[in-house]
Chains A and B, each alone.
Chain A
Amino acid sequence: MKTLLKMTGFICLLYLVSWQAMAQIGIRQIHQERSLYRNIIVTEDSTRRCMRFTITRRTGQNQSCRFLQNPQHLVFPYAKMTLSSLLVQDNPQKILIIGLGGGTLPAVYSHLFPQADIVISEIDEAVLRVAEDYFNFEETDRIKVDIGDARVYIKRASLRGEKFDLVIVDAFNGEYIPEHLMTQEFLQEVQQLLTATGMVVANTFSSSRLYDAESQTYRNVFGEIINLRMPNTGNRIIIASAEALPSPNTLAQRAAQWALRLEYFNRDVKDFVPHMSTAVAWNTRVRHLTDQYSPANLLNN
């Protein structure tokens, strides 16, 4: 019996290793360019196409991926986790997304809310081009991209008196964090953009000293926040709202209502509910981030 187990284990291991090796060999690079801000690489294997910002082959460095067979199915945990916003604000009509990537989130939200106006603030024009050329992203009457720094966009939008029901902050990758998009002042500017029922959902980090500092900063601005952390992913989602946050019961009810509509994305938001917590589960004595003090990249090491 023992030998049989060992044999099975060995075969499994062999299978895993060879699968890994094949996957490595199977990855083709189909596009590479150096933009003003980064290297943009598009890779493809038999199942999916990805955008990445580094040349290293480390896994987990992909910015955005989509399946070739079912492009609407979400690849990354963070993209799926962002959908937890639906449990808080279930009918956003004006959406601001900071960071375009491969255009996954605009595609999801415009599919769910075809009448919604979506603005995407992206600093790098080359990312937009690559998203259009390789990820079927396109601007429409309802989906607009503003090329420029998100902080500047938000300040200008605020001056124009614009309001958003949903602001998605998705500007952070593992390599570099725009430090001015993490400060208390930034969040206050975002807060001013929110409608009375508006909310923010931020895709950020779940480890390092930055986790404490960032959580504390959000709390200082918005009061109570929802933290969504799932096992086996380095991402976490912060949810903050202009209104009081829904109770766990309400979250569960809404998750049940959404189940059918999210089938298309091969996603069920029910799994998130037990992991969504308003508990202050971080070191609150840490310095929060301000425009005067925001060493986010140093804290993330």
Chain B
Amino acid sequence: MDHLTDVLTAISHPTRRAIIGQLANGPARFLDVAKPFDTALNAVTKHLKLLERAGLIERRKQGREVFISFRGEPLREVAGWVNEYERFWNKRLDHFERYFEDKKEKKVKEK
């Protein structure tokens, strides 16, 4: 799967967005990340794995502790994906496709 898909998957779950929101305020330890959620710890671990795969978080060891921090860079890809030109061309193709669908319908009716 491509990286954009990893990023979109990562931000598709409200809990993962909440984790990002939390980490956007600064790095935190695993238990602090997990604290606001009623989910089992291994569910949080799974969420973090998906975020890590997307490159949205980073783990850094500081002494004995591991701090998790947010990395915003992959979100650029998402921003690029909803590029103005993407919307422009998709809109064009919506109209273009509809034109051919209408044409096809007319043909069927005429028969």
| Bound together | no
Interface residues of B (CB under 8 A from A): none
